[in-house]
Structure 1
Amino acid sequence: MSIAIEDFPQIWQRPSFEELLASLKRLQVEPPIWKPGTPRQVIVDTYYNAASYRREVAAYLASIIQSSLGWIQDDDEKEALWDEASRRLSERCGRAAMGEITRRWPFETQASSSFELIIREPPITGDSLGLKTWGSSYLLSQSLDKIAQGPLAHLINMGHSNQSLNVLELGSGTGLLGMAAAAIWQTNVSLSDLPDIMSNLSHNIEINRPSIEVLGGRIDSGILTWGSGNGNADLFAMKNQFNIILAADPLYDDDHPELLSSAICENLAEDKSSRAIVMVPQRDLTTKKLVDSFVLTMASLGMAVLEEHTLVGQDDWDEDDDDSAIDCWCAIFGRQ
């Protein structure tokens, strides 16, 4: 191990503020680049470190948090050390316990150079599902190249500009899928979500906009609340304007099948060449029932499943989850 805890300044030595702060900075954990092909144990070992070392670090951090730091006179410095130690501890407690993180997501496609998207994820607190990058969005993003050369070949000319197309992502969250589509398909993509999600989504769009535009993509974003008719007045004023609609992991409540179906039918172009692509992780029986309900609702609205597949991806990385592999249902819909 490159860092030995016994070499760090110990509380009983009454180290200075500067010494303790420097040690805590050295223990900062950087989120891994997401590579689903990487063996689970490699991620655990490199990100969280070996179990024995993890216990040593936790004990060291706890000693700082529990100490009164009485020899340090400045109360603000004490607070800074306690806060920093708490952050280091939370970084080793899995994604749900972590604060804000920024991750890099690499892409390799046949039609464009390799690129990566930079995604900020705020702390996961309360009802903040849209502030997390779900593994299914990356799995679908990685499939965009193949999908474009297969079931979407009538719409997308890979390796060439597709600026005549309009693409909408529903429930964009942190924006990974929509931004990847803009870059890989070299087309216009509108990202959408609820008002509370838009601040972080806009941040991620602006960080990645230059690299996406270099690759030939264009992106914008707006508020779109499914089933309410509330949305960005300019961006979504015209109904049925999008040739392709994307949605990843959009079903996790009983009313979502109907809301998602209506949002797709209201925004998808009415000609029979238009397509909607939806991916849903099959986490449990409840999720499978939501998918069944969604398919039936889409059928009642004149939307048929043209293709469906099961792909295997990672739901997310987590310290205590040794097997994050999950089956994801992916379907391509068209108007009947």
Structure 2
Amino acid sequence: MSPSSVLDLPQLYTKPSARALLDTLALLTSAPPSWDYKAGPDTKDGTSVVALREGEPSAAQIDPEGVARYLTSIVSNNLKWIQDEEVREEIWNQASLRLSERSGRTAMGDLNRRFTIPSRDGSFELKIHEPALTGDDLGLKTWAASYLLAKRLHLFDLIRPEQGAKAKVLELGSGTGLVGLAMAGLGADVVLTDLPSIYTNLARNAKTNAPIVEENRGTIRTGVLDWTSPHSCTLFPADVGDTNSDGETLSEKFPLVLAADSLYSPDHPEMLVNTIAAWLSEDMDSRVIVEFPYRAAYLPEIAEFRKQMTMIGLQILDEGEEKGFDDWGDASKGEDALVTCWWSCWGRKLPEQDS
């Protein structure tokens, strides 16, 4: 079915009711994408994009031509035929939100996303809050590599209920927490860590998803770990959403360390690997699982990460590539970026493998 024209929407010169305008603005909502990508026959190169989250209704199929102008006309109109001042304010607010959704992630305010995570027994849903993006705090946004790794975790067969003891996991550079929360939702005991500027939102998402984690027999702890001081990690109580209170010094090491999309400068590979070395247990079956996007500007960082990992006695046990989307650009111009991500699972080298 071909999309409808913007001219089919309630036109302001007809003085539509407040309800008609609010319903229209609700239909024009652009749901945040979940960055799924799958092969299919829908395009010439055999690919197709699944941009909407599973289980959610799609937005109205409206030809994008003229939609921004339509929304701007609502924002700039006095709507004087609508008597209720609060309702007018709500209409202007909703029209402004629809405009921001079409201007890329950097122009948007707070978002609440839902992600479906596959498991051995089916799937579960995580709710992730993303604050409005300000400054350089890239950890306040969920990235494609994080979502892809969160969906891949169950394939590594890391959780084995028959063995009794739960998997102990440390996530480095947790950001919004999607990967670590997915691991906890699979039944692991997970510590999620990031910088102080990221911690408040990380703790909020951990608290929000605590019920589903507990239902799946996992646990969550959150803390601050700055890679410039790789041996120091401070955990904070679950009911505390900031780093101003007294915390607990983390001392244990972990048989599994996770990280996703965390290489953004030439210094990061060595910093990340040093932090992995500080917290990965000495057991021969310890593992490190990472996923990074192949962004052109940061390919040297991935190469350096691989080099640094071998220098601390780790080797790749399994690796692969997969595709996803980042919603960073102007969606109205098709700037949501298709990215190829590299995932890898690392383990310790056996003594006879050293040469």
TM-score, structure 2 as length reference: 0.78
8 A Cα contact 1:314 1:326, kept in partner: yes
Cα distance, 1:26–1:299 mapped onto 2, change above 3 Å? closer
Give the AA of the match of 2:270.
E
Aligned to 1:151: none
Partner of 1:53, secondary structure, is coil
Match of 1:287 among 298, 321, 328: 298
Provide the C-alpha distance between the structure 2 equivalents of 1:71 and 1:171, rounded to a whole number of angstroms: 52
Give the AA of the match of 2:181.
M
Give the AA of the match of 2:124.
F
Q: CA RMSD in A?
A: 3.2
Q: Does 1:135 align with 2:106?
A: no
Give the AA of the match of 2:141.
K
Q: Which has the higher helix share?
A: 1
| TM-superposition CA deviations, 1:173-224 (whole Å, max 9, x none) | 111111111222x220111111222222222222222122222211111111
Partner of 2:167, secondary structure, is strand
Give the AA of the match of 1:116.
E
Give the drift of 1:54. 1.5
Match of 1:59 among 69, 72, 94: 69
Provide the C-alpha distance between the structure 2 equivalents of 1:172 and 1:181, rounded to a whole number of angstroms: 12
5+ residue gaps, structure 2: 40-46, 237-246, 351-355
Partner of 1:141, secondary structure, is helix
Provide the C-alpha distance between the structure 1 equivalents of 2:36 and 2:208, rounded to a whole number of angstroms: 21
Aligned to 1:296: 307
| TM-superposition CA deviations, 1:30-77 (whole Å, max 9, x none) | 334554338645538x86765x62223222101112334456677766
Give the AA of the match of 1:43.
A
Give the percent of matched residue pairs that are identical in Structure 1 and Structure 2.
37
TM-score, structure 1 as length reference: 0.82
Partner of 2:249, secondary structure, is coil
Give the drift of 1:335. 6.4
Provide the C-alpha distance between the structure 1 equivalents of 2:258 and 2:9, rounded to a whole number of angstroms: 50
Provide the C-alpha distance between the structure 2 equivalents of 1:94 and 1:48, rounded to a whole number of angstroms: 17
Partner of 1:307, secondary structure, is strand
Cα distance, 1:321–1:295 mapped onto 2, change above 3 Å? same
Provide the C-alpha distance between the structure 1 equivalents of 2:88 and 2:335, rounded to a whole number of angstroms: 34
Give the drift of 1:230. 5.1
| TM-superposition CA deviations, 1:232-262 (whole Å, max 9, x none) | 1578734452111100111111111121112
8 A Cα contact 1:239 1:266, kept in partner: no
Cα distance, 1:28–1:164 mapped onto 2, change above 3 Å? closer
8 A Cα contact 2:317 2:346, kept in partner: yes
| TM-superposition CA deviations, 1:121-148 (whole Å, max 9, x none) | 2223321311111111122222222222
Partner of 2:37, secondary structure, is coil
Aligned to 1:244: 256
Aligned to 2:271: 259
Cα distance, 1:160–1:56 mapped onto 2, change above 3 Å? farther
5+ residue gaps, structure 1: 149-155
| TM-superposition CA deviations, 1:273-312 (whole Å, max 9, x none) | 322222211111x422112222333344x23223252311
